[in-house]
Amino acid sequence: MSRHPLLKRRAFVATVGASLAAATLPGIATSVFAADARAKEFRIGYQKAASALVLLKSHRTLEKRLAPLGITVKWTEFPAGPQLLEGLNVGAIDFGYVGEAPPVFAQAAGANFVYVAYEIPTPHAEGILVRRDTPIRTLADLKDKKIALNKGSDVHWFLVAALQKSGVKYNEVQPVFLPPADARAAFERGAIDAWAIWDPFLEAAKRQSNARLLVDAGGIVNHHQFFLGARSFAQQNSDVLAITMDEVNKEGAWVRGHYGEAAAQLAPIQGLDASVIEAGLRHYEHIYKPVDASVLAEQQRIADTFSELRIIPTKIVTKDAALPAKV
Predicted confidence (pLDDT) per residue in 40-53, tens digit: 999 999 998 878 89
135 has a pLDDT exceeding 90: yes
> pTM score, two decimals?
0.85
36 has a pLDDT exceeding 50: no
Q: Does the fold of domain 123-216 match that of domain 5-122+224-321?
A: yes
Q: Which of 321, 237, 235, 231 is nearest to 42 (CA)?
A: 237
Lowest average pLDDT, out of 18-32, 95-109, 137-151, 260-274, goes to 18-32
Strand order across the beta sheet in which 113-119 lies = 72-77, 41-46, 95-99, 225-230, 113-119, 288-289
Assigned superfamily of 5-122+224-321: Periplasmic binding protein-like II (3.40.190.10)
Of the chain, the percentage scoring pLDDT greater than 90 comes to 81
Q: Which of 238, 248, 318, 226 is nearest to 39 (CA)?
A: 238
Q: Which fold has domain 123-216?
A: D-Maltodextrin-Binding Protein; domain 2 (3.40.190)
**Residue ranges of domains in the chain:** 5-122+224-321, 123-216
Amino acid 245: pLDDT: 96
